[in-house]
Structures are given as C-alpha cells and as structure tokens.
Structure 1
Amino acid sequence: MASPQSTKSRLDNATKRVKPVDLFSSLKLELSALIVCATAIAFAMCWFLLKFGWSGWIAMPLTLVVALGITYFFSRGITAPLRQMRDVAEAMAEGDYTVRVNIDQERHDEVGQLARSFNEMAEELEHADKMRLDMIANVSHELRTPVSALQAMVENMADGVTEPTSANLEGILTQTQRLSDLIAFLLDLSRMEAGAASLNIEQFNVAEFLDETVEPLEIADGGHAHDIQMRVSDDITMEGDQDRLRQLFTNIIANALKHSPDNTTVLVETHEDKDNGTIVTNVVNFGSQIAPSDRSDIFRRFVKGKTGPGTESGGTGLGLSIARWAAQLHGGSVRVVDDTRGADFEITLPKYHIANE
C-alpha cells in the first residue's frame, strides 16, 4: 500500500513534467488544433525532404514518426489530469482520501472541469470518512457514559451500598431516557441514510402544536430560568406529520436553549406567508451569533456547536441534521438568517402538503 506522501509526490512530479495545453476552452478544439498542427508539420517536412531528393520510402516513415512524436508530446499535456485522476482513484481505493488532482485553475476545458468535479467528490468522500470515524467515537462515548452510570447505580443497590430511594431511581430513569434518546437519534439517522420515511399527514392548529411542543422543553429546562416567548396567531393551520414536525421544532428550540445563557429569552415567532403559501417560524437565541462560515456546517451530522471558546456542546451532534431532514420531508427548509438580535433559525414549511409522485 502506497503511503499518502508518496502518492502526493507522484502527482506533483506528474504535474511538473507535463504542462497542460490551456489555449482552448474545449477539448475538441484542443485535439483538432493538435491534429491540424501535426498534419501541417508532417506535410511540410515531407515536401521539404522530397524537394531535396529524399526517397519517398524514407521520407514518409520519417514524417510519420515526427508527427506521432509531436502528437504524443502535446497529448500528454492534455490528458495529464486523467492520469492523475487514475492515481488519485487508486490512492482513495487504498484508504487515502486526502489526495487531490493538481489542476491549473485557468484550464476550462472538459478535462479541467472533470478534474475539479473529481476533487469536489474527493472532498465529500474525505468528509464522509471523517464523519464515519467521528460517529464511531461519538456513539461509543455516548453509549458508554449512561451505561457506566446505570451499571454503577444498579451495582450499588444490589450490594446494599445505596437504597432504592426515589432520587436514586430518578437517576436511573434519567440515564435510561438518555439511552432511549440516543437510540431514537440513531434510528432517525438510519432513516435519513435510507431516504425512507412515512408521513402521517393531517391538518392541525400551529399555535396548539407549538404549545404542546414547548411545554416539555420548559419543564426539562430546569433551573436555567429561560423564558420562551411565543408569538403566533391562533388561527394559523397547516398540513403535515406532527411527529416529524415535533422532532424538527424540538431540536431547533432545544438547540437555542442549550446555547442561551441562564435567565435569557428564546423567541419563537410564527407567521403565514400567504404570497408563497408557507408557514415561517423564527427561533431566535438572543445575544449569541453564528458566523456565516459556520451556518452550513452546523447542519452536518455529528457536528457539535460551541458553548464557549474551544468548548463543544454536549449531545450527539445529530439534532440539527435531523431537524433539516424533517423539514425537507415536508418540502421545507431550515437555515440561519441574519438577525441583529442573535442566532435566528428560520423554518419554512408549506401550508399544504404536496404528496411526492
């Protein structure tokens, strides 16, 4: 198995040996120009040799060799990225996803476009491989923590060290709930990967739905003293799967609570956009902000937000990814929008569900 360094060195050397032809924006034009030039040179050379008395049996083979030499030399410059892609594909097959095709950014023919697309694919594969490794580490950690706590609690009760009091049983219940939540997250992730999810579509009142969604979050918020303000008209209705949408709103609002300092306010504001036939909800976490460069990454699986400088938040890193998935199932979207008040997650959902064909 070749090392990543040797693969990169081979690709760098290949780039240095051959300079691609960048005169045309189309591979067909490049090949046509190459054939025309080789033919013209061969014709001129043949005419010159015959004019000075060379035999045709000598002039013709010599001319063909020169024409083939010219074609081979310049075609190597045209097809150099293709050879690099072969080497990169072989390296990726061996598990090295860091290699890339070295391509001149000024090259705009089909080979250049293919090379850039190939590099984009390699970046996605590298990210997917990193996420796979992170998933194994995260899931192992998330499972080990509650299981260890449960084991210690139960062993202490079995040995008579602690009594099965209400507080101790409440601790066991908390850990089992944590395990249940993790399993639910992983099941949702498997559905996301499979692209399969059945929806139970029904019409419901948005204000009542949000009240039912927010109530358990307020109870779970405990002593953090967050104030969840609701601004939604009582007459707004929509169609959708309430269970899936509850996942969506629970994860977004819980994320806002997690990243809000104690004794602060989280705003949940909903209105109907009649022009576009959508229901728009903004969940605003006052005070904090999300950098524009991070706004797309936070919706990736297993990407955890920051609670402070260099400090990751707890959880599985799946909540926002599942929220976006639930929105997309309904033909909607979730995104972070500019808001001077703080981090603003905007949820846009169609008022009426349109069944996929």
Structure 2
Amino acid sequence: MGNRQYRSQGARRTDVRPIIVFHSLKMELSALIAIATAIAFAMCWFLLKFGWSGWIAMPITLVVALGITYTFSRGLTARLRQLRDAAEAMTEGDYTVRVPLDDASHDEVGQLARSFNEMAAELQHADQMRRDMVANVSHELRTPVSALQAQVENMADGVTEPTPANLEGILNQTQRLSDLIAFLLDLSRMEAGAASLDVERFNFAEFLDDTVEPLELADGGHAHDIQIHVPSAIMMEGDQDRLRQLFTNIIGNALKHSPDGSSVLVETHEDEDHGTVVTNVVNFGSQISPEERSDIFRRFVKGKTGPGTESGGTGLGLSIARWAAQLHGGTVKVVDDSRGVDFEITLPKYHIEQ
C-alpha cells in the first residue's frame, strides 16, 4: 500500500499563502499583520481624504483588514489543519497517511510536518513488523505443534510404536518450540532495552570450545568440520551467556548455510591498537551481496539456502546476535572475503559500562 497524501477540506488549493520567503512562522505572521495594518491605514486615510465620515471609514477599514488577515491566515494555517486531520486518521489506525510538503515548507510548521511524516513512516514500519511477527510466529509455532500432535496421536492410536527414533522426533520438535520461545524472550528483552550483563573475566579459547561443542553434537549427520584457530592466552571481560548467544547464532547460521561435509572456520586475533578481540566466522564457497549484508541482521529476515528458497528458522538469530554484541560495545558485520561468507565479530577486551 502506497503512502496516502492527506488533504482535508480545510486545506484546499484555494487557500492563499502570499508570504513564503520567510523560514519562520513568526516572521510570516508578523509580515501579514504589518501588511494588513498598512492597507487598513492607507484605506482609512484615503476615505477620510475624500470626505468620508470617520464613523463610516473606520468600520469599513476594520472589515477589510480582518478580511485580508482571515484570507491570508488560512493559507498559513492550512498545514496545521492537514496535520490535525492526518493525526485523526492515524488514531483510527491508518499509518499510511502523510502530510504533503512543498519547497516552501521550511518554517516551523513545515518542520513539524516533516517530523510527523517521519513518525508516521516509523509507525507504519513498526505496524508492518508487528503483523509480520504475528504471521512468522504463528507459522513457526504451527509447524512443530502440528508435527507433535500427529506423532502423539499416532502413538495414542497404536499406529506407531514409541520407538527411540519416534521419541527422538518428538524431542526434536519440542526443542524447536523451546528455541522459538527463547528467541521471543530475547526479542522482548531487546525491544524493552532491558538486559543486564553479568560481567566476568574468562579465557576466550575455552569459552569458544564450550560454545562450539553442543553445536557439533547437534550437527547430526551433516558432517560439518568446525575449525577453531584461537590463541590460548586471550583473556576478556563480558557476559558469557550473552556472548554465547552471539557466537551460537553466528556459527549456527554458518553451519546452516554450508553444504554437508564442508568446513566452517572460526579464527580469532587480538587488535592491540584498539583493545579488541576480532573473530571471523567463515563458511566457504557461498557469498552475500553487499546490498544484502545489512538486511540479514533485520528481524524476521531469513537467509537463502538456494535461488528463491528461504532457510528455516525464525529469522531472529542474526538480529539477536547483533544485539548481544552491541550490549558489549561490539559489532557484527559481513566483510569481504574471497573464501566465502565472513562474519566479523569485534568485541572490546575490557568491559566498559554503557
């Protein structure tokens, strides 16, 4: 749906706004009063000069002055009426409404209209994200719940036996539900900005080994080889739980988008000049175009496993990873690398209160 330019009955093109050279509404109103006063004075002087009675000239002059002021002030206040009507439309849920702007809209009302349009765009985006979230979460919940229901019903009806393989399938579906709930909880914390950090000093190489081990176990029959090149002496400060979210999501994303039997490289070095620890997670062969590199960190944006094919998952992993890095004053980005997709994670060695 395109943005709807809102024009109320009180903001017709017939409204006159003769003073457009000023970039201040106060100056425009002052000029309008000065012009109306000058016209009224000249008219009164003209009528008195030609013998009109002051009791007749003064009322006529006042009526003319008020008419001029009213006519021209409608042009000055037209955008205020547009803003009022647009705000009323937004209260009814129409976030596509916009206040039309022109080249002369540089005064305070024009600035207010621009801010209103920016706010409307943000609200429209937030509303669309809310709709997308409901659709995505509904879809993500429906799939494991439907699978669980079918498997349990088959066991209850005696169609299938509760064999270890069937029970493992049920366990996998419950794990998907647990992961989704964890993602949604992290999303709510991220939206609320409520995330306290339990900062401690730890050995980074040992931390990465502990983080990668469950990923290797969960990799199943995909036969991925996770190569870790990390100096054993690196010590840093941070919240290990949040950082584990960061590296689990980034490395898990690399595994998801790597062919079976391929390797994922995790290599770390210290940047002494900047006091940071830089980790590159590389899955070989594939690439992400420069124009898509910022989009993949947006919520509910899913990567591609092939032409026109979305990967599974919630589309929240990379956005939560970036959030966890930002909590520590770090960054996550995709950098140029001829070997393949390279996620570069930069974290400060020493935690500084944000």
TM range (shorter): 0.7 to 0.9
User: Could you state the TM-score of these two structures normalised by the residue count of structure 2?
Assistant: 0.87
Identify if the C-alpha distance between structure 1 residues 15 and 257 changes in structure 2 by more than 3 Å, giving closer, same or farther. farther
Structure 1: which amino acid aligns with 2:42?
Answer: A
Structure 2: which amino acid aligns with 1:196?
Answer: A
Residue 242 (structure 2) pairs with residue 244 (structure 1): yes
1:153-164 correspondence runs (5 A): 153-164=151-162
Tell me, in whole angstroms, the C-alpha distance in 2 between the residues paired with 1:56 and 1:91: 50
User: Could you state the TM-score of these two structures normalised by the residue count of structure 1?
Assistant: 0.87
What is residue 151 of structure 1 aligned with on the other side?
A: 149
What is residue 134 of structure 2 aligned with on the other side?
A: 136
Tell me, in whole angstroms, the C-alpha distance in 2 between the residues paired with 1:112 and 1:341: 51
1:111-130 correspondence runs (5 A): 111-130=109-128
Identify if the C-alpha distance between structure 1 residues 76 and 277 changes in structure 2 by more than 3 Å, giving closer, same or farther. farther
Tell me, in whole angstroms, the C-alpha distance in 2 between the residues paired with 1:12 and 1:316: 46
3-state DSSP of counterpart to 1:38: helix
Identify if the C-alpha distance between structure 1 residues 280 and 116 changes in structure 2 by more than 3 Å, giving closer, same or farther. farther
1:79-98 correspondence runs (5 A): 79-98=77-96
1:249-264 correspondence runs (5 A): 249-262=247-260, 264=262
What is residue 174 of structure 1 aligned with on the other side?
A: 172
Tell me, in whole angstroms, the C-alpha distance in 1 between the residues paired with 2:138 and 2:308: 22
Could you give the per-residue CA deviations for residues 30-52 of structure 1, whole angstroms, max 9, x where no partner exists?
22322222222222222222222
Q: 1:230 aligns with which of 228, 237, 240?
A: 228
Residue 343 (structure 2) pairs with residue 345 (structure 1): yes
Identify if the C-alpha distance between structure 1 residues 115 and 310 changes in structure 2 by more than 3 Å, giving closer, same or farther. farther
What is residue 331 of structure 1 aligned with on the other side?
A: 329
1:1-357 correspondence runs (5 A): 8=5, 10-11=7-8, 14=11, 16-18=13-15, 22-105=20-103, 107-262=105-260, 264-286=262-284, 287-292=286-291, 294-339=292-337, 342-356=340-354
Could you give the per-residue CA deviations for residues 9-46 of structure 1, whole angstroms, max 9, x where no partner exists?
64498363446654222223222322222222222222
Tell me, in whole angstroms, the C-alpha distance in 1 between the residues paired with 2:130 and 2:221: 36
Deviates more, 1:310-319 or 1:242-251: 310-319
In the TM superposition, residue 199 of structure 1 has moved relative to its aligned partner by 1.7
In the TM superposition, residue 128 of structure 1 has moved relative to its aligned partner by 1.3
In the TM superposition, residue 186 of structure 1 has moved relative to its aligned partner by 1.4
In the TM superposition, residue 121 of structure 1 has moved relative to its aligned partner by 1.0
Structure 1: which amino acid aligns with 2:58?
Answer: M
In the TM superposition, residue 342 of structure 1 has moved relative to its aligned partner by 4.7
Tell me, in whole angstroms, the C-alpha distance in 2 between the residues paired with 1:54 and 1:233: 101
Deviates more, 1:116-125 or 1:278-287: 278-287
Tell me, in whole angstroms, the C-alpha distance in 2 between the residues paired with 1:226 and 1:13: 67
Deviates more, 1:29-38 or 1:265-274: 265-274
Identify if the C-alpha distance between structure 1 residues 19 and 62 changes in structure 2 by more than 3 Å, giving closer, same or farther. closer
Tell me, in whole angstroms, the C-alpha distance in 1 between the residues paired with 2:210 and 2:42: 86
Deviates more, 1:110-119 or 1:263-272: 263-272
In the TM superposition, residue 100 of structure 1 has moved relative to its aligned partner by 0.9
In structure 2, the gaps of 5 or more residues are none
In the TM superposition, residue 194 of structure 1 has moved relative to its aligned partner by 2.7
Identify if the C-alpha distance between structure 1 residues 39 and 284 changes in structure 2 by more than 3 Å, giving closer, same or farther. farther
Tell me, in whole angstroms, the C-alpha distance in 2 between the residues paired with 1:346 and 1:65: 73
In the TM superposition, residue 162 of structure 1 has moved relative to its aligned partner by 1.5
3-state DSSP of counterpart to 2:174: helix
In the TM superposition, residue 174 of structure 1 has moved relative to its aligned partner by 0.5
Contact 1:260–1:288, Cα closer than 8 Å, also in 2: no
3-state DSSP of counterpart to 1:347: strand
Contact 1:12–1:102, Cα closer than 8 Å, also in 2: no
Contact 2:6–2:82, Cα closer than 8 Å, also in 1: no
Contact 1:103–1:112, Cα closer than 8 Å, also in 2: yes
Tell me, in whole angstroms, the C-alpha distance in 2 between the residues paired with 1:86 and 1:223: 62
3-state DSSP of counterpart to 2:213: helix
Tell me, in whole angstroms, the C-alpha distance in 1 between the residues paired with 2:56 and 2:241: 84
Tell me, in whole angstroms, the C-alpha distance in 2 between the residues paired with 1:72 and 1:280: 66
Contact 1:18–1:80, Cα closer than 8 Å, also in 2: yes
Identify if the C-alpha distance between structure 1 residues 52 and 300 changes in structure 2 by more than 3 Å, giving closer, same or farther. farther
Contact 1:206–1:237, Cα closer than 8 Å, also in 2: yes
Identify if the C-alpha distance between structure 1 residues 243 and 84 changes in structure 2 by more than 3 Å, giving closer, same or farther. same
In the TM superposition, residue 82 of structure 1 has moved relative to its aligned partner by 2.0
In the TM superposition, residue 102 of structure 1 has moved relative to its aligned partner by 0.9
Structure 2: which amino acid aligns with 1:303?
Answer: V
Structure 2: which amino acid aligns with 1:248?
Answer: L
